[in-house]
Amino acid sequence: MAQTAPVPTTAAEQTLPRRRVGILAVQGDVREHARAIRDVGAEAVEVRLPRDLVGLDALILPGGESTAMRRLIERYGLGEPIVALANGGAPVFGTCAGMILLANRIADGDEPVLRLLDVTVQRNAYGRQLDSFEADIAVPSLGEAPMHGVFIRAPVVSELGPMVEVLARDPDGRPIAVRQGRVLATAFHPELTPDRRMHRLLLELIAP
């Protein structure tokens, strides 16, 4: 993976009230998101049980294996509490498998999990593990500099609801970063690079 210099915490971040951001910790790249959240001046909280959601300002659903994550969400009774947290106004950010968990519809016919994002996703849209790749992505709403994207068995959005904003597309024009209100999702893994703009956006979505 290409290495770039870490992006420092800004002065504005240093003066913001310290936010508590949960990271679903049943499976997936939890540590990388926790590091990113600490880099932008917030507290990272691992979420394994419904009680861990209490008092959170936002929640991240990390990349991982979506089928395993679905089963563990069901086993630990996390689905309804996560939906309640989001419906109460807390921003939710899903990366890769997290995008699949958020989607209203899954193209291969699997039952949706959280239904918080009005999109249809296609799993493994770029192929299997051996087809993983990296690419620079234009995200105009986050500035002129491209974002380096790490794609690992990545999904894409194949259908968009009317309230969903596209933040970035792949070279074929398919959406790979989207936002609907306070729900944010990327097909790639921003936590695997030093660029913290997506994590900063998550904090900006938290109501004052």
Tell me the catalytic residues: 96, 189, 191
Please give the angle made by the CA atoms of 81, 86 and 87, to the nearest 5 degrees. 95
Q: Please state whether beta strands 20-24 and 43-47 pair in parallel, antiparallel, or not at all (unpaired).
A: parallel
Please give the angle made by the CA atoms of 169, 175 and 179, to the nearest 5 degrees. 105
What gap in Å lies between CA 73 and CA 82, rounded to an integer?
10
What is the spatial order of strands in the sheet that 92-95 belongs to? Answer: 43-47, 20-24, 58-61, 92-95, 183-186, 175-180, 165-169
Distances, alpha carbon 118 to alpha carbons 17, 102, 138, 146, 191, in Å: 31, 9, 23, 26, 24
> CB-hemisphere CA count at 13 Å for 138?
7
